[in-house]
Chain A
Amino acid sequence: MPLDPMQLEPAFWPFLIATVVKMLVVFTLYMVVVAYSTLAERKVSAWIQDRHGPNRVGPWGLFQVLADGVKNFVKEESMPGDVNKPTFLLAPAIAFTMALTAWAVIPFGAPLPTPWGKVDLIVADAPIGVLYPLAITSLGVYGIVLAGWSSNNKYSLLGGLRASAQMVSYEVAMGLSVVAVLLLMGNVSLPQVVALQAAGGWNVVLLSVAAFVFMVSAFAETNRVPFDMAEAESELIAGYHSEYSAMKFSMFFIAEYANMLTASAMFVTLFLGGWDIPFTDWDTTGPATVAKALATFAIFAAKIGAFMFFFIWIRWTLPRFRYDQLMSLGWKFMLPVALLYIVIVSTGMLLLDVAGVARGSGTYFLAFLGLNVVLMGLLFVILDRGRLISPASSRLERSRVERLRAVAAARSSIAAGEVR
């Protein structure tokens, strides 16, 4: 069989040009999607609350995004008197850039054949793969912390402090949940993770506990409800971006949605099979075609859209946690669960290897499926009895309750005595 030039790796110059083109395309698409996800948020929230949402600018309000953009560009930039100017200006840029950069290693489709060679639909196939977005998104906390600190405003500072503590806490759980994925996949390269999932079943089924921990941590990492302690408008006005206006505020707004998009892409790639089309081998086998590239890109976009919708849906359903609930959930629940799960997954893999079950086979899939059904059952039936979100409505030990009540009674009698 003669070698088809469209199925070969491109030479240096075509590779470079293709990479630049991919960067431009990804950036443009990304900005458009981020802009429209703000509209989606407003529309979905309106529908959930029996309202109509924005519907005045263009058909169904579709040009609302442009109107908002123009408004933010022409608004006055207010600069509070006592801010630390360099960091105040730098913070929105950091928040936004870090959310954007993490996208470089996300594969978004099957390879695209061109006359100059086969182009992988990923901006940078970095060998460190999944570690790169983890590192970059954790840098994103600097944007928020610096914004909070440089604003010279106690509410902003509190928002920034909360955000840093929260993001650092949940990063631990997130990283450990990714460890389970890496154990099973045996690889950190995201295209490899996608390929292995296409062959051996999606990780959301194989590693559902890790998927759950990752999902909850993703909500916390993006500062979304129910973890939006950094903004908490009822307590902190607008938290870290209280002092920002016009385009600088808009940058934080864009960064929030960009973070959501990145978190969705990470979740989709690690747990929902990336660009893999379910129930068919057509997309992953045989030579690359343009149709395959487009179809896989569409399915990837659809998966991300579904997860973005889930983000929005959760936001307009759940109330915010209290701060101690947030911290105890992160450290006392998510972290031990993620650690224990790593032990369970590696033990399961070892046992299956000893039993001689091949990786990626049907038996392997079913064994992990059964294991995860049992574990999810345990997680939600046993652990969720008042311990998941503690302690206001938890079952504390009876002795502790008695002690707390005694203290409260003693206090109130002292207070009453002072009044008399």
Chain B
Amino acid sequence: MAINVKVMERPVGEVSYVRATLKGLALTLKHLVDPHRVTIQYPEEKWDLSPRWRGTHRMLTTEDGKAKCVACGLCPTVCPANCIKLVPGEDEVGNRYPLVFEIDEFRCIFCGYCQEVCPEEAIHLGRHYENAEFNRAQFVYDLERLTAQTHPVSTLWDPADPRGE
């Protein structure tokens, strides 16, 4: 025995190896026959997302299928990650609409400021997380893709109802 091993003086009742072993075996057997499984079998079962889950974006549309966006430019301004690219356009009656609206989902930090700042409630974060693609270019979502998304959108945190009740 090395001299530096710390020597503990313990009561006789606590130094029994066999007793501790039996106790441990009983514990593991208890878990074996009565498992408290928390694993979610992912592709078959899915987890319930919080209503405030902030995932990849979705652009809501009007009844005639056009994006609600009026190209006001608030979201690219407020975006802390600078991930929204917006080029505004104007039609013959003077309605503004986005010519180009692209969100780089790799740059996005999913803060939700764009949804919060949007006066038309057009851009939203989605309650969605399965985003895999085959190449990096496909993570830049254009307007067509943003409007085509169908997943539920996230609700903003309401200070008056902090628990979402």
Contacts and interface: CB of A to CB of B under 8 A. Distances in A.
Please say whether chains A and B are actual partners in one complex: yes
Interface of A: 44, 47-52, 55, 313-314, 316-318, 324, 380, 384-386, 388-389, 391-396, 401, 404-405, 407-408
Contacts of B32: 44, 47-48, 313
24 contacts: A47-B31, A47-B32, A48-B31, A48-B32, A50-B31, A50-B36, A52-B39, A317-B28, A318-B24, A380-B16, A384-B17, A384-B18, A385-B12, A386-B12, A388-B18, A392-B7, A394-B15, A395-B9, A395-B10, A395-B12, A395-B15, A401-B9, A405-B7, A408-B3
A117 B135 CA distance: 71
Contacts of A405: 7
Nearest to A44: B32
B1 interface: yes
Contacts of B35: 47, 50
Contacts of A48: 28, 31-32
Interface size class of B (residues with CB under 8 A): 20 to 34
Nearest to B2: A324
Interface of B: 1-10, 12, 14-19, 21, 24-25, 27-29, 31-32, 35-39, 41
Given A324-B1, A380-B18, A386-B15, A50 B37 contact: yes
Nearest to B39: A52
B8 A393 contact: yes
A55 B25 CA distance: 25
- Which 4 A-B residue pairings sit nearest by Cβ, starting from the closest? A386-B15, A389-B17, A388-B17, A317-B28
A392 B17 CA distance: 12
Contact of B29 (A49, A313, A404): A313
Nearest to A401: B7
Contact of A313 (B3, B17, B25, B41): B25
A392 B9 contact: no
B28 A316 contact: yes
A385 B39 contact: no
B37 A392 contact: no
Q: Give the one of B5, B15, B16, B38 with max A CB within 10 A.
A: B15
Contacts of B21: 317-318
Nearest to A52: B39
Given A313-B25, A313-B29, A395-B9, A52 B2 contact: no
Given A50-B36, A52-B37, A52-B41, A396 B2 contact: no
A407 B3 contact: yes
B22 to A, nearest CB: 10
B140 to A, nearest CB: 34
Contacts of A316: 28
A219 to B, nearest CB: 12
Nearest to A212: B18
B1 to A, nearest CB: 5
Contact of B15 (A55, A393, A401, A404): A393
Contacts of A392: 5-8
Contacts of A47: 31-32, 35
Between B4, B7, B31, B37, the greatest number of chain A beta carbons within 10 A of the residue's beta carbon is seen for B7
Nearest to A398: B9
Contacts of A389: 17
A52 B39 CA distance: 7
A384 B37 CA distance: 36
A384 B19 contact: yes
Nearest to B29: A313
A298 B9 CA distance: 50
> In the complex, which of the residues A44, A47, A52 has the most CB atoms of chain B within 10 Å of its own CB atom?
A47
B17 A314 contact: no
B25 to A, nearest CB: 5
Contacts of A52: 37, 39, 41
A213 to B, nearest CB: 13
